[in-house]
A and B are shown apart, each in its own frame.
Chain A
Amino acid sequence: MSKIWTLCLCASLAFLVGCSSGGKKVSRIDANSVTDLSGSWNDTDSRLVADEMIMDCLNRPWYQTMVQQKNGAVPTVVIGKVRNKSHEHINVETFVKDIERALINSGKADFVANAEERSELRDELASQAGNATEETRKDAGMEIGADLMLTGTLNSIVDQEGGEQVIYYQIDMELTDIQSHRKVWVGDKKIKKFVNQSSVKM
């Protein structure tokens, strides 16, 4: 009988130790790994969409036409407004940075600073004009004008019933010729997620 009690006690202790080993655990994972926790828009979505859309964009016929028009020089792109019209507070800045990275790394396009960055650079230029030495001072009016502007929107549709939710994201991007306002490329990427939340737990 006493053995049974000892066994029960050991089992209880083991259970308690098991319970108490909860709390926060941190482990490093590959930055490129696919992770889905809540079903919300995440870094994986941002990265995959940016990579796929830029690849699609630069492999379309407009690209060769423009390179020929520019006598073999690659087009210069500026990123315009990317609007978040979804149901989530998506960090658009991270998405825009992913697009910039994908564009630069492709080697198929030149890239100029966007309106906000240009304003900051111009302030710096103005500051240099009055403060930097003549040899190191940079001249105004030497900026490279972009050929194309990339704009886009992030949209979402949510369908739900009880604990089940289907989230559909559609990311639309457009590349517009700044001179002629002609749209040279329109692309989209769709993501669909199914989220299931249990209604009870122990």
Chain B
Amino acid sequence: MKRLALLLLSAVLLTSCANKSMTRYETLAPTLEKKGFDATIAEVKKQQKDLYGSNSEYLYYYDLGVLNHYNRNFDESIKNFEKAEKIYDDLYTKSISNEAAAIVTNDNVRPYRARPFEVLTMYQLQILNYLAKGDVDGALVEVKRSQIAMQSLYQKDQDKVNDNGFLRYLSALVYELDDEKDDAAISYYKTVKAYDESKMGLPNEVYEYVTESLRSLDREDDIKDLKKPELASTPRASAAREKGQEIVVIGYAGHSPILGEMYLSGTFVSGGVMNLYYKDGETGNKVSFTLVAPPVAGAGSETFHIGFALPEVRKHNSRVDHFEVSMDGGNRMKPEKVMSVDDELRRNMEDEKTTTITRTAVRVILRTIAAQKAKSATNTGNVLLDLVKNVGVDVAQGQLEQADLRVGLFLPNSFYMTRIPVDAGSHSVSVAAQGSHGETVGVYNFDNIAVRKGQKVFLIVPAIK
């Protein structure tokens, strides 16, 4: 009887364990939408323990880094990203006890190791933090750190794409600012290669700057090697070089997708049929299907209960889709999309699919066997009592199963960028954040921007709506 009570108590306790990733999103997303960046930063800090906990410490600092960047608290953003980077580096060492615990419970008990695109966006935003502060040396340090990080990612997973066109493009820009023309040209060249590896096409403006840089250094062979239609002229990039000054508009459009849980559960008899059902994350409909059940050694006619959870990408309906920029009241320009977080997350999920499914399968099999053993070991002989106890064991087992849905919560859906060559002096820039049908969602005005000779001024437009 004691064993039975213990089992039931465990089941009740486990029932109260909600997936922190879902709670985090449900708590913070409305705050961001209704109250803005300051309130969200305060809420993240206030609820650190409840919403993040020690296993998601990386995400805590990462989210704060992103939010402070949007809020133009560049120094705070830098500090938080530095903490996140330190945690990421330290997590190279894996804890055997954590890994073992994850096998019998779920992956949420492991410390969160950033997804490759999160690591790379961390460096992108750090570079932009320093550039927005006018600290070229600081940005250059981040460029070099990002290259070491990319090399490390490639060493870990050679078969996966661990490059990023936008990061390479930003790196080229920083090298240009530092007057390191050869390094800039190499980064421009790698920009095209990285875009080619990704799903996203190469933005036209980016290609113009790549071509101009390579031509100015007599790297015609490199241009041919890119196997792109050659540009007859590069008016904007040439103007940028001649004038020496630029205003660079970086727009963050919409809200990145999050991860939802696809939970499949069902019962089977050894060597018989397995009835499974899950709830479709997009439609909310319950879908059921039947498979041939695997034979379980030593099993009789008893039923086995299984449940497993897998992460799936859930897209937001972002209100902001793109931007229009006008300078000094002149013609409107449309910045091009330079990075899609949506694509990056989907690619990451695809890359991780085999590992995730294998880990889930091992976990579920081990737990199902353990649950069956527990059921047999605690049989009382009382049919009703055993039934209640067995249901309790299945509930407990089901509650343990949670998909790892952890992901940075506040990234934009897309990054946009345009470079505007300008004369030294004072300028005003107006950026309209627009929806997919061209409707204006918000307008961001930057008046009296002082541009010194040879300076590049970076304007950040966080339209996370």
Q: Do residues A86 and B155 form an inter-chain contact, with CB atoms below 8 A?
A: no
Listed stretches A94-102, A105-113, A143-151, A193-201; interface member = A193-201
Point out the residues of chain B lying under 8 angstroms from A35, CB to CB: none
Contact of A85 among B96, B140, B145, B155 (CB under 8 A): B140
Evaluate whether A84 and B141 lie within 8 angstroms (CB atoms) in the complex, with A160-B152, A160-B155, A162-B155 already known.
yes
B230 within 8 A of A: no
Residues of A in contact (CB 8 Å), total: 19
Q: Do residues B137 and A83 form an inter-chain contact, with CB atoms below 8 A?
A: yes
| A200 and B138 alpha carbons, distance in the complex (Å) | 33
Q: Do residues B144 and A160 form an inter-chain contact, with CB atoms below 8 A?
A: no
Contact of A201 among B95, B144, B148 (CB under 8 A): B95
For B208-234 the 0/1 string (1 means CB < 8 A from A) is 000000000000000000000000000
Q: Do residues B144 and A197 form an inter-chain contact, with CB atoms below 8 A?
A: no
| A85 and B137 alpha carbons, distance in the complex (Å) | 7
State the Cβ distance, B174 to closest chain A Cβ, in Å. 11
For chain B, give the interface size range: 10 to 19
A28 within 8 A of B: no
Within 8 A of B (CB), among A72-96: 83-89
Within 8 A of A (CB), among B56-111: 82, 92-97
State the Cβ distance, B11 to closest chain A Cβ, in Å. 29
Q: Do residues A86 and B141 form an inter-chain contact, with CB atoms below 8 A?
A: yes
Point out the residues of chain A lying under 8 angstroms from B140, CB to CB: 85
B151 within 8 A of A: yes
State the Cβ distance, B86 to closest chain A Cβ, in Å. 9
State the Cβ distance, A93 to closest chain B Cβ, in Å. 12
State the Cβ distance, B60 to closest chain A Cβ, in Å. 20
Q: Write the chain B residue with the least CB distance to A156.
A: B144
| A163 and B155 alpha carbons, distance in the complex (Å) | 11
Point out the residues of chain B lying under 8 angstroms from A85, CB to CB: 137, 140, 178
| A143 and B108 alpha carbons, distance in the complex (Å) | 66
Contact of B93 among A86, A89, A199 (CB under 8 A): A199
Q: Do residues A87 and B144 form an inter-chain contact, with CB atoms below 8 A?
A: yes
State the Cβ distance, B140 to closest chain A Cβ, in Å. 6
Q: Determine which residue in B82, B92, B144, B178 has the highest number of CB atoms from chain A within 10 A of its CB, and name it.
A: B144
Point out the residues of chain A lying under 8 angstroms from B145, CB to CB: 87-88
Q: Write the chain A residue with the least CB distance to B89.
A: A197
Q: Do residues A201 and B141 form an inter-chain contact, with CB atoms below 8 A?
A: no
Point out the residues of chain B lying under 8 angstroms from A86, CB to CB: 141, 144
Point out the residues of chain A lying under 8 angstroms from B178, CB to CB: 85
Point out the residues of chain B lying under 8 angstroms from A202, CB to CB: 95-97
For A172-202 the 0/1 string (1 means CB < 8 A from B) is 0000000000000000000000000111111
| A200 and B91 alpha carbons, distance in the complex (Å) | 10
Please report the number of residue pairs spanning A and B whose Cβ atoms sit closer than 8 angstroms: 44
Q: Write the chain A residue with the least CB distance to B99.
A: A200
Q: Determine which residue in B94, B141, B178 has the highest number of CB atoms from chain A within 10 A of its CB, and name it.
A: B141
State the Cβ distance, B102 to closest chain A Cβ, in Å. 14
State the Cβ distance, B129 to closest chain A Cβ, in Å. 12
Q: Write the chain A residue with the least CB distance to B144.
A: A87
| A86 and B141 alpha carbons, distance in the complex (Å) | 6
Point out the residues of chain A lying under 8 angstroms from B92, CB to CB: 163, 197, 199
Point out the residues of chain B lying under 8 angstroms from A201, CB to CB: 93-96
| A191 and B178 alpha carbons, distance in the complex (Å) | 24
A158 within 8 A of B: yes
Point out the residues of chain B lying under 8 angstroms from A161, CB to CB: 155
| A84 and B96 alpha carbons, distance in the complex (Å) | 39
Evaluate whether A158 and B148 lie within 8 angstroms (CB atoms) in the complex, with A84-B137, A85-B137, A88-B141 already known.
yes
Q: Determine which residue in A83, A87, A161 has the highest number of CB atoms from chain B within 10 A of its CB, and name it.
A: A87
For B124-153 the 0/1 string (1 means CB < 8 A from A) is 000000000000011011001100100110
Give the interface of A toward B (CB within 8 A). Answer: 83-89, 156, 158, 160-163, 197-202
Give the interface of B toward A (CB within 8 A). Answer: 82, 92-97, 137-138, 140-141, 144-145, 148, 151-152, 155, 178
Can you name 23 A-B residue pairings with CB atoms under 8 Å? A84-B137, A85-B137, A85-B140, A86-B141, A87-B141, A87-B148, A88-B141, A88-B145, A89-B141, A156-B144, A158-B148, A160-B148, A160-B151, A160-B155, A161-B155, A163-B93, A197-B92, A197-B93, A198-B93, A200-B93, A200-B95, A201-B93, A201-B95
Given contacts A89-B141, A199-B92, A199-B94, could you give 6 more A-B pairs where the C-beta distance is less than 8 Å? A84-B137, A87-B144, A156-B144, A160-B148, A199-B93, A201-B93
Please provide the 3 A-B residue pairs with the shortest distance between their CB atoms, ordered closest to farther: A87-B144, A158-B148, A201-B93
